[in-house]
A and B are shown apart, each in its own frame.
Chain A
């Protein structure tokens, strides 16, 4: 069973649209979750941490549902510059490792 699972997409949306990604995880004991963004052939960059209470950062909102073991990312008023792959990441373990999903590709179009 995959540890972190995401729909690979691509999601093609017009500029200004709202788009949501979901991700499921298998380890019920996981404590930390993150969304990273990865542009083509670049390093993953932290977008936001995901807390049990959920959190918002500008146009981005992340939610955690522990009962169903999924996290979500909502992007409002999408911009062309939001086009990237969004990586769902689970953190923790003895070595503090991060476990990445395969990523969801977003393409924002004019």
Chain B
């Protein structure tokens, strides 16, 4: 069964450092997303990406964040200068068609900023 894969599973970084979280979406999917979940809180939308550009982003997704699809398979989230409050589980997801369809999630990257 096709699945979304994310690396690394756990990343520890010092405050102020840059991190890149990596994802390989399901191969025939068209929409790609990043979500985050702070411990004990709900899953929050960060950004959606379609046709090689951002289609929607939330207030959380400020100038410190960027996304890229550097090749035909990878989808990355970069946080330029991490803050303590960026500590969370980051989930990548993908979906097959444009609208009203379910998304499938990767197993997540747990980011800990110290």
Contact = CB atoms under 8 A, between A and B. Distances in A.
Interface of A: 31-32, 34, 38, 41-46, 49, 87, 91-103
A41 B33 contact: no
Given A44-B43, A97-B33, A34 B102 contact: yes
Interface string B23-51: 00000000101010000011111011010
B56 A94 contact: yes
Given A44-B105, A95-B48, A100-B44, A31 B56 contact: no
5 contacts: A38-B43, A45-B105, A95-B54, A97-B56, A102-B42
Contacts of B104: 46
B89 A95 contact: no
B50 A96 contact: yes
Nearest to A34: B102
B95 A96 contact: yes
A94 B55 contact: yes
A104 B39 CA distance: 15
A49 B107 CA distance: 20
Contact of B48 (A31, A32, A43, A97): A97
A63 B102 CA distance: 17
A83 B103 CA distance: 22
B100 A91 contact: yes
B15 to A, nearest CB: 23
Nearest to A94: B56
A71 B57 CA distance: 26
Contact of B45 (A45, A49, A99, A101): A99
Contacts of B33: 96-98
